[in-house]
Amino acid sequence: MSRPYCEQCGYPQTACVCGAVSAISPRNRLLVLQHPSEVEHAKNSVRLLQLAVPNTRVVVGETEADFAELRAELARDSMPTFLLYPSDESQLLQAAESSEAVRLILLDGTWRKTLKMYRLNPWLQALPQKHLSQAAPTAYRIRKASRSDSLSTLEAAAAALSQLEPGLDVAPMHGLLAELVAQRLRRMPAKVRERY
């Protein structure tokens, strides 16, 4: 028998985070390109991001063909679009990027998977690329990363939004992540918890 899931947040009822959800409405738009292997990953932060910023759009794929419809749609849209990715060509994301709202594309996956997505999609490489100023270390302790400067997708989105919209309160995003981490750590056996 499968365990029951919360209809609101999509997490198992024993891990429901609805009590910590406080949605925000940024002026700028978030578009997440999610690697297929992340969709069902239990520790993926994009589900939390969608709860915190409900107008976040997620498109699953890896190759250029996977994003063909999206590329056509973006070509018809006049909203300025930036890729948030720390490439050799990226520039620091700043508050005065545009007087109008912008769209930020974030890649969701491990460093290896997002690098592969970046390399397989020349259209992403052609976008103006931005990186974050030095962010605080990740609070997402329950998921290991290969780089010390790694952030979860939710944390990267929160940092980007706070850089673009200095008056925007992104604390609810961090609070939601903290609640999930605390729940996961409480349910871990002590020996396992020591590793985190």
Residue ranges per structural domain of the chain: 13-188
pLDDT for 144 equals 59
Question: Which of helix, strand or coil describes residue 5?
Answer: strand
The first and second tokens of residue 17, run together, are: 């985070």
pLDDT for 194 equals 63
What's the CATH code, domain 13-188? 3.40.1280
Q: Which of 105, 103, 106 is nearest to 27 (CA)?
A: 103
What is the number of other CB atoms lying within 10 angstroms of the CB of residue 194?
8
Q: Kindly report the average pLDDT of the chain as a whole number.
A: 86
Quote the CA–CA distance of 106 and 156 in Å, as a whole number: 8
pLDDT for 1 equals 59
pLDDT category at 137 given cuts 50, 70, 90 is low
Residue with tokens 């002590």: 190
Lowest model confidence (mean pLDDT) among 31-40, 96-105, 109-118, 121-130: 96-105
Asked if 168 and 30 count as a contact pair (C-beta separation under 8 A), the reply is no
Higher pLDDT, 162 or 136: 162
CA 176 to chain centre: 13
Q: Is 90 exceeded by the pLDDT of residue 149? A: no
pLDDT in tens, 53-110: 999 999 999 999 999 999 999 999 999 999 999 988 899 888 765 678 999 999 999 8
